[in-house]
Each structure stands twice: as C-alpha cells, then as structure tokens.
Amino acid sequence: MIIETVSPLFYARGFTAVGMDELRAVTGVSLKRLYRLFPSKEDIIEEVLHSWRDTWEANLRAQVESTQVPRERLLAVFDFLAAWFISEGFRGCAFINSFGELGGISGRIPAIVRAQKKEFQDYLSRVATRVGAPDTLAPQLAILAEGALTTAAIAGSAEPARQARAAAEILIDAALTRPAPVTMP
C-alpha cells in the first residue's frame, strides 16, 4: 500500500524532491512506522524501483504476447512504447531518470537500474531467439527502445517510438534474411 501510494509521486517529481514528511502525509503512516518498515529513504526508493520493474515487465510481456506472429512480437515492444509515451503523466523511463538523479550519490540504486536494463535486453534476446534472429539483434533493439524512451520524454511525443519501430523493422528483416554463416572445414 505504501509503495503504490508513493510511486506516482516519485515518478512525477523525482526522488530528491519528495521528502519523508511528504511521504508521511500522503501515506497517512507515521514517520516512526515508515522508518520501521523502511530504515532509510533509499530503502523506499529501492522498493519503488522493484515495483516499477514488475509493472514494466508485466505490461511489456502482455503487449508482446498479444500477437502470435513472430516478427510482430519484436515490433510489439515499440507499439507498447508508443502507447506509453502518450499516456497521461509520462515523464520518460523511471530507471533512466532515477539513475540520472541518484546514480552518483547512491550505492544501491545504480545496480537496480543496471539490472533492469539487463533484464530488458535479456527479454528481447529471448523473444528474438524464438523468431530465429541472431544474438546481435536484441542489443540493437534495446538501444532503439532506450533511445526512443529518452527522446520521447524530451520531445513529449510518441513519434520517437514510431521512428524506432521503423528502424527496428529494417534491423529485424535484415537479421531474419541473413544467410547462415559459412563454416570452413
């Protein structure tokens, strides 16, 4: 309940702008109890990031798995992004934002962000492997998605997702039509 209550506040304003007194006020939980549950503000932030990761993964998977067409499964990532980019309150990638805000001053937050980015790339790799794409495709698609996330947050538009999807189509088509490597006897 606490994490669900404070998550939107952190996403909208950032972690450093929201103090413990404000967290107490929005949750209705005393500071004493908050500190008993979360020994530090960083502990709350960690839980918020884990919650965001779980939501991101569930929503992304639902979009990807909504189609049975292998090539479209990879492109569904960019359709997911396009819909997210036009949602109310979109402020970019919470992980990129938190890394930018806390990466230099926190010991544990950068590791959580790096793990989420790796999990995203690993997921893309699993989807790409199932469609017969080479290992090199997933990191390329991840870079397109991450670039679209950052650009959309700055531009305030879904256009970066459409542009990244068009680039992804070219990469996917090239990867799926590439002849198998020839091995020398």
Q: 104 Cβ partners below 8 Å, 6+ apart?
A: none
Q: Please measure the distance between the N-terminal and C-terminal CA atoms of the chain and give it in whole angstroms.
A: 62
pLDDT level of residue 183 (50, 70, 90 thresholds)? low
Q: Would the pLDDT of 6 be above 70?
A: yes
Q: Does residue 184 belong to any structural domain of this protein?
A: no
Mean pLDDT, rounded, for 165-177 = 95
**Domain membership flag for residue 182:** no
Band of residue 177 on the pLDDT scale cut at 50, 70, 90: confident
Residue 171 falls within a domain, yes or no? yes
Mean pLDDT of 69-83: 95
pLDDT at 180 (0 to 100): 54
In a domain, 82, yes or no: yes
Q: How far apart are CA 73 and CA 166, in angstroms?
A: 14
What are the tens digits of pLDDT across the range 8-48?
999 999 999 999 999 999 999 999 999 999 999 999 999 99
**Count of beta carbons in the 10 Å neighbourhood of residue 52:** 20
Q: Is residue 108 part of a domain?
A: yes
Residue 91's alpha-carbon distances to 23, 32, 174, in angstroms, are: 20, 31, 33
- Note the pLDDT of residue 10: 95
48-57, 97-106, 160-169: least confident range: 97-106
pLDDT at position 158, please? 93
Cβ atoms of 98 and 15 within 8 Å: the answer is yes
pLDDT tens track for 88-145: 999 999 999 999 998 877 778 999 999 999 999 999 999 999 999 998 999 999 999 9
Q: What is the CATH number of the domain that holds 110?
A: 1.10.357.10
Is residue 135 situated within a structural domain?
A: yes
If one compares 105 and 1, the residue with the highest pLDDT of the two is 1
Quickly count: other Cβ atoms within 10 Å of residue 85's Cβ. Answer: 22
Cite the beta strand spans of 38-124 per DSSP E: none
Q: Using 50, 70 and 90 to split pLDDT, how confident is the model at 182?
A: low
* Cα–Cα distance, 91 to 104 (Å, whole number): 21
> What is the extent of the structural domain holding 14?
2-177
Residue 143 in domain? yes
Tens digit of pLDDT for each residue in 86-98?
Answer: 999 999 999 999 9
Q: How many domains does the chain have?
A: 1
